[in-house]
Structure 1
């Protein structure tokens, strides 16, 4: 009886040791693969002449996706190998998995659509982690990009998950360059040419400005009068900036424009109520 127990214990210990060795090898493979993927992706992107920020974002995105695929493959192979060591027949298991996979494929068309859309998003480099995009009436910074979904962080701090299959039109607000658009309101009675003469020197000095100079790519441009209303008109100006810097440039420019107009004695328009009084109609003479 003791010999039988020892035989069973030996038969159990040997597969367990092999299973632990397989787990250790799988962990080592995953660690080595992670470093290899990062170097390979970084080397592949060097020929595209990207900026340091764009290269880091693309490396992070592609590395995450590649690591997920490799991790799933390694874990699946290690699991099947461990099952075979313990004597579990793998053939029927793979056949059953194929049938289950077919059934899941027929019933999970939405999931397949999300994955296919995610593959094209990555291959075409439509956006990557760190970009600011507008999609499905939601704007935010891309915090996570997988083959199934895109996760955005909005300005209010909300974490929004958008399935890739639901994405039809994407506005990438941080690709290559951006433009800060500012509408300057003025009273219709003001001299438009005078205000434009105040704005142009302010915009022309932007490239040499110590604060905003590194953020802009070209001197600002005055487009002209954008709209005319009953109580105010607007002059539109635009400044070409580096990616993701258009909001910072616009805020600082609004502050400087406000001070420049105040120094010139030009006040911002304010709501006005115009009341028109008509003389009362003469009363008919009283009847005698």
Structure 2
């Protein structure tokens, strides 16, 4: 009876199910078989323990139940037939052979390209009931096959291009209209010069309008052509290229931004006498790239605007009143306050020295053999040359001190062996403790007039070239 049970259809089904199952399931089913056999030995039939399986209906000629093995083979046949029909409808896959066993699809044959090989595997993997796909398709390298495929692709692309020519023309027309409108708006210089505070910023705004018009025209054209994916690729590539170019031209960008900031907040005017770090001269012009100076010896000096923007700028022209100072030494035995009075009287007697702010002097240092006095005085640079005025003031103070009997120190050493009264200078007259009246030298006003050679050269050059720059007297100055 057990042998009969094992040869029955249910027994064959059980073996087919247990063969791939885990051991524990096989053990459980073995125990079930043992119970069934024990029940049969006690007088019960298998049909009493297991539900009956209907037999074939002779009247209809159909089979009500199908063996699992038959069902698997039938599914494999259906999958193979379906894939063969699908491949027959696709160009390039007609030579692909399909075999299916237990849900495993094996693809063989040859195709013209790698894309066709991958497409066949993707189609087979999407069929219901397929466990896995073994792709054994080989790519053929026959010249006629590959050439015909490439020719066919080119032919299809040409047909698509011809069909899309009207739409392409519309997209091109719209792009030209948008771009042309942007360029027309950017070309209205009178408008941008009125809106922007200076010509440099006006040109910058006009350039930005042109760039935005080009981008807008490109976006609209690609949207009309339904090439949004291409648009994303173009914009992404443009972003990457922009970052790379930004790192490559960062110095140029820094200089450009510095030019913009200098044009908005101008630290100097044309022909101002400035000191930029250690570079001195008069300003000729401020361009979009550099600041052009004329040095005091008449040479042109171009300084990048990025350097000017970050530099320490000293403007001598901004305030016409300027103070000079100089040092004079007297003997350590002399009265320093009396020497100060004599020197200040000589300085204040000069016509170009301003009464306000008032001149003054201080004891700067006291050395072993001399007392150094420092004098301060103010001049108006519009009427007096700074260097000439300082030079004349030094001359006047020195002469006044010498005539008053004060001894200016010399780089010599003296050994005193007797009373100081016996070692007086031969040209000195005995002092009575009070300073003599200072006699300032008469100085004509034209001796200290400003040196205007460089200033005149700058004015002539600006008038001759008539080149517009970023210096604007209507803009605020820092």
Q: TM-score, normalised by structure 1?
A: 0.53
What are the superposed Cα offsets for residues 132-182 of structure 1, whole Å, 9 maximum, x if unpaired? Answer: 222232222223322422233333444332222123322222322321122
Say whether 1:124 aligns with 2:265.
yes
C-alpha displacement of 1:127: 1.9
Larger Rg: 2
Q: Where does 1:77-88 land on structure 2 (aligned, <5 Å)?
A: none
Task: Compute the displacement of 1:260 (Å).
Answer: 1.7
- Per the alignment, residue 143 of structure 1 pairs with 284
2:376 maps to what in 1?
238
The answer on 1:228 being equivalent to 2:366 is yes
Contact 1:116 1:147 in 2 (8 A): no
Q: Find the residue that maps to 2:281 and give its secondary structure.
A: strand
For 1:269, the equivalent position in structure 2 comes to: 409
Residue 189 of structure 1 is aligned with which of 310, 333, 336? 333
2:309 counterpart of 1:169: no
Q: Per the alignment, do residues 121 and 72 of structure 1 end up closer, same or farther by CA in structure 2, a change over 3 Å counting?
A: closer
- On the 8 A contact 2:336/2:371 being kept in 1, the answer is no
Query: C-alpha distance in 1, partners of 2:386/2:401?
Result: 22
Say yes or no: does 1:249 pair with 2:400.
no
Task: Name the Cα RMSD after superposition.
Answer: 4.2
Where in structure 2 are there 5+ consecutive unaligned residues? 1-186, 219-237, 417-478
Alignment of structure 1 residues 41-60 onto 2, 5 Å: none
Structure possessing the higher relative contact order (Cα contacts under 8 Å, 6 or more residues apart) = 1
Kindly indicate whether the alpha-carbon contact (under 8 Å) linking 1:134 and 1:171 is maintained by their aligned counterparts in 2: yes
Q: Following TM superposition, by how much is the alpha carbon of 1:196 offset from its aligned partner in structure 2, in angstroms?
A: 1.2
Q: Cα–Cα, structure 1 residues 136 and 200, in superposed 2: closer, same or farther, change >3 Å?
A: closer
Are 1:107 and 2:245 an aligned pair?
Answer: no
Contact 1:130 1:143 in 2 (8 A): yes
Decide whether the 8 Å contact of 2:344 with 2:361 is kept in 1.
Answer: no
Q: Secondary structure at the match of 1:171?
A: strand
Q: Given that residues 128 and 145 in structure 1 are in contact (C-alpha distance below 8 angstroms), is that contact kept between their aligned partners in structure 2? A: no
Quick check: 1:180–1:238 contact (8 Å CA) kept in 2? yes
TM-fit CA distance, 1:195: 1.0
Q: Note if contact 1:182-1:238 (Cα within 8 Å) is conserved in structure 2.
A: yes
Structure 1 position 227, deviation (Å):
1.9
Deviations 1:109-145 (A, max 9, x none): 2222223223333433322222222223222222332
Aligned to 2:65: none
Residues 239-258 of structure 1 deviation map (CA, whole Å, 9 limit, x = unaligned): 23334743332122112222
Describe the superposition over 1:256-281 as per-residue Cα deviations: whole angstroms up to 9, x where unpaired. Answer: 222222322334322013579xxxxx
Alpha-carbon contact 2:362-2:373 (below 8 Å) kept? yes
TM-score by length of 2: 0.34
Report if aligned partners of 1:218, 1:241 keep a CA contact under 8 Å in 2: no
**Per-residue CA shift, 1:32-56, capped at 9, x if unaligned?**
x8xxx9xx9xxxxxxxxxxxxxxxx
Take 2:199 and 2:388, find their aligned partners in 1: how far apart are those partners? 35
Distance in 2 of aligned mates of 1:123 and 1:274: 64
